[in-house]
Structure 1
Amino acid sequence: MIKFFKILALLEGVSMLLLLFVAMPMKYMFGDPFLVKHVGMAHGVLFVGYMIVATMLKFEESWSWKKYGFISLASIIPFGTFYMERKYFPRTS
């Protein structure tokens, strides 16, 4: 489940960056809301999935409330999921 969560965190982070740095400028600078609608929906679904899996893992892995809070907070900060993944889930060779 951790591997799935890491993939979900990556996708959620990428979708947030696409929304903030591609779709939103397209909407407000060029008047084209098409990407906001679609990227925004994908980001919303990924965010909800991220939070559900994080909550499941909190209980399965016996995370402290502090760790769970940081992991949850990372989902609303740009680049937060990338930092969280490196800090709490380092790669093992």
Structure 2
Amino acid sequence: MDLKTAGALRRLRLISAPEAVSFLLLLVCSVLKRTTDFNAVPVMGMVHGVLFIGYVVLWALAWLRARWGWRRAGWLLLLSVLPTGGFFAERTLARECEDVVVAARARTEAVGA
């Protein structure tokens, strides 16, 4: 893997936490809509929808770039539809991105030496 792969993983990682937060806020707004007069569901629904579509697009690009197997790609997609799954995806992607960067630097140093 190379630094372009790390970039794709980083972009997916950066959107995963905000997507998870928007999902949780949408759930809270749904409860508040049914228990009070507060109705922010249309706004939060739009915000979450945009972030979710962004996550899926960046997930597809990262999948192509990182050449994940079906199991790994499916797991990261499944995490996007779980209320707190984006936080777990972010942590997993952070480790993977760091591993890719370290491997790329090691290859660069080996070629330069």
- Which structure has more helix as a fraction of its residues? 2
> In the alignment, does 2:23 pair up with 1:19?
no
Change (3 A) 1:2 1:87: closer
Relative contact order higher in (CA < 8 Å, ≥ 6 apart)? 2
- Provide the identity percentage: 31
* Residue of structure 2 in register with 1:78 after alignment: 83
Q: Which runs of 5+ in 1 are unaligned?
A: none
Higher-Rg member (1/2): 2
> In the alignment, does 2:72 pair up with 1:52?
no
TM-score, length of structure 2 as denominator length: 0.73
Deviations 1:24-47 (A, max 9, x none): 1221111332x1010110000110
RMSD: 1.7
Q: Which runs of 5+ in 2 are unaligned?
A: 1-7, 99-113
Q: Paired residues, what number?
A: 91
SS of aligned partner of 2:68 = coil
